[in-house]
């Protein structure tokens, strides 16, 4: 496989000492010309600014004609036991330029194991605004809100009783109100997001997206709640020097300014999953039906390793 051959010529990045290599093949629909772009992981001393192989390859598509369509993704790494899967950030980013149904081929460094999947399987409930042009975003958001409002109340959150449904609605309303607090971000981009989380002691915390002028510096609304989650989860001594039980998160919502449910974005999905919040319930919305339902964090990151399984 070309990806493994090229990877072995690349020096490992100095932070992880671990190589990942990606190739995206493409075809031009106007003349049937084919080709490929490639990329490898690159890291900085601030590891949050590092770039994954899949995104390093995918960004090169921006310089190709609009008639180009990606036909497959090939991914390999230094792993010998099992093929690496695309990271959650890469799954999300690839959906901006790749069909969710093209094959994603994954292989070990020695090609002893090869398997495939698709982005549709690897990244359920993607952002409904993906591939919507900026000047159409607000109109699209209002349309989706109208669609979900028209759904019968009994069809939302199936299998839940009325009090349980009302609790989710309460969280959604609080998150929608919080979304308006990013005043600076609202001047830079039309999409606003807020999040609300309930803990098992009945307490609720809210947050909102902090958009950055350099888009990559944006802190999403769910990631902004991690401090509250960690503070409640860590046992500590009270004034009587007694340990208190950890307060666990049980319900999470993220909405836009129109109260459309938006599943957590990739950074938040990865952080929650890697830190053991697999069973945290998350409200999501099916598109285009507009039906609201409840899933778990684990279901939002299928086929993804945990830090505890690696370190």
- All structural domains of the chain: 2-122 (3.40.140.10), 134-304 (3.40.140.10)
Strand duo 249-256 + 281-285: pairing: parallel
Per-residue confidence (pLDDT) for residue 241, from 0 to 100 = 55
Look at residue 242 in the predicted model and tell me its pLDDT: 61
Nearest Cα residue to 77 out of 50, 100, 54, 45: 54
Q: Which residues lie closer than 8 Å to 255 by C-beta, 6 or more apart?
A: 172, 175, 176, 179, 193, 194, 195, 261, 262
Residue 232 vs residues 97, 105, 171, 262: alpha-carbon distances, Å = 39, 40, 18, 24
Residue 203 — φ and ψ, nearest 5°?
-75, 155
Contact 27, 67 (CB under 8 A): no
Does the global pTM surpass 0.85? yes
Each of the 311 residues of the chain gets a pLDDT tens digit; together they read: 789 999 999 999 999 999 999 999 999 999 999 999 999 999 999 999 999 999 999 999 999 999 999 999 999 999 999 999 999 999 999 999 999 999 999 999 999 999 999 999 999 999 999 999 999 999 999 999 999 999 999 999 998 999 999 999 999 999 999 999 999 999 999 999 999 999 999 999 999 999 999 999 999 999 999 999 998 877 554 555 566 788 999 999 999 999 999 999 999 999 999 999 999 999 999 999 999 999 999 999 999 876 555 55
Write down the pLDDT at residue 307.
59
DSSP string computed for 127-183: -TTTT--GGGHHHHHHHHHHHHHHS-GGGSSTT--HHHHHHHHHHHHHHHHHHTT-H
Taking the alpha carbons at both ends of the chain, their separation in whole angstroms is 28
Give residue for tokens 């099992």: 82
* Residue 95 DSSP code: T
pLDDT at 306: 66
* Nearest alpha-carbon partner for 185 in 173, 194, 172: 194
Confidence (pLDDT) at 138: 97
Alpha-carbon distance of 105 to 171, in angstroms, equals 39
């Amino acid at each position: 496989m070309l990806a493994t051959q090229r990877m072995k010529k690349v020096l490992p990045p100095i932070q992880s000492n671990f190589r990942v290599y990606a190739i995206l093949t493409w075809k031009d629909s106007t003349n049937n010309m084919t080709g490929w772009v490639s990329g490898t992981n690159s890291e900085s001393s601030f590891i949050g600014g590092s770039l994954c192989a899949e995104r390093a390859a995918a960004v090169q598509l921006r310089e190709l004609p609009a008639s180009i369509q990606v036909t497959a993704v090939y991914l390999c790494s230094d792993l010998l036991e099992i093929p690496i899967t695309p990271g959650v950030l890469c799954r999300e980013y690839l959906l901006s330029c790749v069909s969710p149904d093209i094959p994603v081929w994954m292989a070990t460094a020695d090609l002893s194991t090869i398997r495939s999947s698709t982005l549709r399987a690897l990244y359920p409930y993607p952002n409904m605004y993906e591939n919507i042009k900026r000047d159409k975003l607000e109109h699209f958001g209002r349309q989706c809100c109208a669609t979900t409002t028209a759904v019968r109340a009994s069809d939302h959150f199936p299998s839940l009783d009325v009090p349980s449904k009302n609790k989710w609605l309460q969280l959604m309303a609080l998150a929608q109100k919080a979304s308006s607090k990013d005043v600076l971000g609202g001047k830079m981009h039309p999409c606003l997001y807020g999040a609300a989380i309930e803990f098992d002691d009945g307490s609720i915390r809210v947050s909102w997206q902090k958009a950055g002028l350099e888009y990559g510096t944006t802190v999403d609304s769910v990631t902004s709640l991690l401090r509250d989650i960690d503070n409640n989860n860590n046992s500590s001594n009270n004034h009587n020097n007694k340990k208190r039980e950890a307060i666990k998160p049980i319900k999470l919502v993220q909405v836009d300014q129109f109260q459309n449910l938006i599943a957590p974005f990739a950074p938040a999905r990865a952080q929650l999953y890697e830190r053991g919040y697999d069973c945290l319930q998350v409200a999501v919305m099916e598109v285009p039906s507009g039906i609201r339902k409840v899933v778990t964090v684990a279901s939002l990151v299928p086929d993804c390793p945990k830090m505890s399984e690696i370190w």
